[in-house]
C-alpha cells in the first residue's frame, strides 16, 4: 500500500513508519520538522492544520498515481488550551479528510486515545467500543471530536476510518497502571497494519493495547479487524515498582489525566502543534 503518515517524526511515528516500510508498504512521511537522520522514504514538511498545505501534499502524491491510506499520528500529546487542542487534533483531521475526499484516498487510520473515555470509572468494568465518550481533559475532548469527524466522513463520503484509542505506547510498562494499558512497539505496528488492511471496516474503534493479562479494555473490537497483539505487560511485572499514586490512577481509565490539574498555556503567535 502507498501510505502517508502524518506526525512521522514523533515517538509513535518513527516506529510506525519504519515498521510499515519493513512490511513492504510505500511510506511517505509528513511532519512540521525535517526527516530524522537516516530516513529512507519520501518526506514532506508541512503543518497539518494548514488545509492548503495538506491539500498540496495529497495532490502531489495522487498526481499520476494512487494514495491508498493516511495514518494520522500528528498532534500535541499533552494537555493545552481548548483552542490549541482543537487545532492540533480536529482541524488537522478535517484538513486530511477534506484532501482525502478530493483526491479519492479511501482510508484513514487515526491515533485516537484512551482519554476520549478517560473519565469512565474503572468500576464500570471492561470497556468496550460501545462506551460513550467521557473525556478526561481538553485533549480527550479533541480526540472525541476527531472521532466524530471520522464518523461523519465515513457516513457521508464512504471513507473507511479506524480510530485507535491508544493506551500507553512505550518500550515497556512504566507503572502499575501501565500493566493494564501498555501498547508495545511491536503491537503498535500490528495494530496499524491491521487497521490499514482489514477489508471495508467503515467507521470502527479499537483499543490500542497489547494482550495484557490485566487489560482494562476489550480487545475483541481490534481482533475483529485483524489485530492480534502478541505482547503482554505481565512479562515486565518484576521491573514495575508500586507507587503512591497507583490507587488514584486506577480510579478512572484515563489514569492521572482524569484528576490532574493542568496549566493550559496558549501557543505563541505564529506557531501550531
Q: What is the DSSP string of 94-123?
A: HHHHHHHHHTT--EEEEEEEGGGGTTSBGG
- The answer to whether 265 touches 273, Cβ cutoff 8 Å, is no
* CB crowding 5-24: b at 16 or more within 10 Å, else e: bbbbbbebbbbbbbbbbeee
Distance CA 221, CA 156 (A): 23
Between CA 236 and CA 192, with CA 36 as vertex, the angle to 5 degrees is: 50
Say how far apart CA 158 and CA 160 lie, in whole Å: 6
Name the catalytic one among 44, 110, 138, 139.
139
Cα gap 118→135, rounded to integer Å = 5
User: Active site includes 207?
Assistant: no
Bridge partners for 28 per DSSP? 4
CA distance 236 to 249: 19
Residues facing 230 on adjacent strands: none
Does residue 69 contact residue 61 with C-beta atoms inside 8 Å?
Answer: no
Residues designated as active site: 139
Amino acid at each position: 500500500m502507498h501510505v502517508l503518515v502524518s506526525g512521522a517524526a514523533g515517538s509513535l511515528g518513527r516506529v510506525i513508519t519504519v515498521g510499515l516500510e519493513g512490511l513492504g508498504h510505500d511510506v511517505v512521511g509528513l511532519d512540521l520538522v525535517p526527516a530524522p537522520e537516516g530516513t529512507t522514504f519520501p518526506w514532506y514538511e508541512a503543518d497539518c492544520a494548514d488545509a492548503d498545505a495538506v491539500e498540496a501534499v495529497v495532490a502531489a502524491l495522487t498526481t499520476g498515481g494512487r494514495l491508498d491510506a493516511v495514518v494520522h499520528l500528528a498532534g500535541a500529546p499533552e494537555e493545552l488550551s481548548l483552542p490549541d487542542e482543537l487545532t492540533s487534533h480536529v482541524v488537522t483531521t478535517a484538513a486530511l479528510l477534506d484532501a482525502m475526499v478530493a483526491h479519492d484516498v479511501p482510508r484513514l487510520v487515526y491515533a485516537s486515545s484512551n482519554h476520549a473515555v478517560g473519565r469512565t470509572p474503572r468500576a464500570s468494568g471492561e470497556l468496550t467500543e460501545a462506551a460513550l465518550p467521557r473525556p478526561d481533559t481538553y485533549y480527550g475532548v479533541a480526540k472525541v471530536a476527531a472521532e466524530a469527524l471520522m464518523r461523519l466522513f465515513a457516513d457521508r463520503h464512504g471513507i473507511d476510518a479506524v480510530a485507535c484509542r491508544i493506551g500507553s505506547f512505550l518500550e515497556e510498562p512504566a507503572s502499575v497502571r501501565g500493566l493494564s494499558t501498555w501498547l508495545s512497539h511491536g503491537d503498535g505496528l500490528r495494530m496499524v497494519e491491521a487497521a490499514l488492511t482489514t477489508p471495508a471496516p467503515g467507521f470502527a474503534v479499537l483499543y490500542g493495547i497489547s494482550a495484557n493479562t490485566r487489560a482494562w479494555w476489550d480487545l475483541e473490537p481490534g481482533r475483529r479487524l485483524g489485530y492480534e497483539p502478541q505482547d503482554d505487560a505481565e512479562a515486565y511485572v518484576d521491573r514495575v515498582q508500586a507507587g503512591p499514586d497507583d490507587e488514584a490512577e486506577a480510579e478512572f481509565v484515563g489514569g492521572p489525566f482524569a484528576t490532574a490539574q493542568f496549566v493550559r498555556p496558549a501557543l505563541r503567535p505564529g506557531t501550531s502543534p
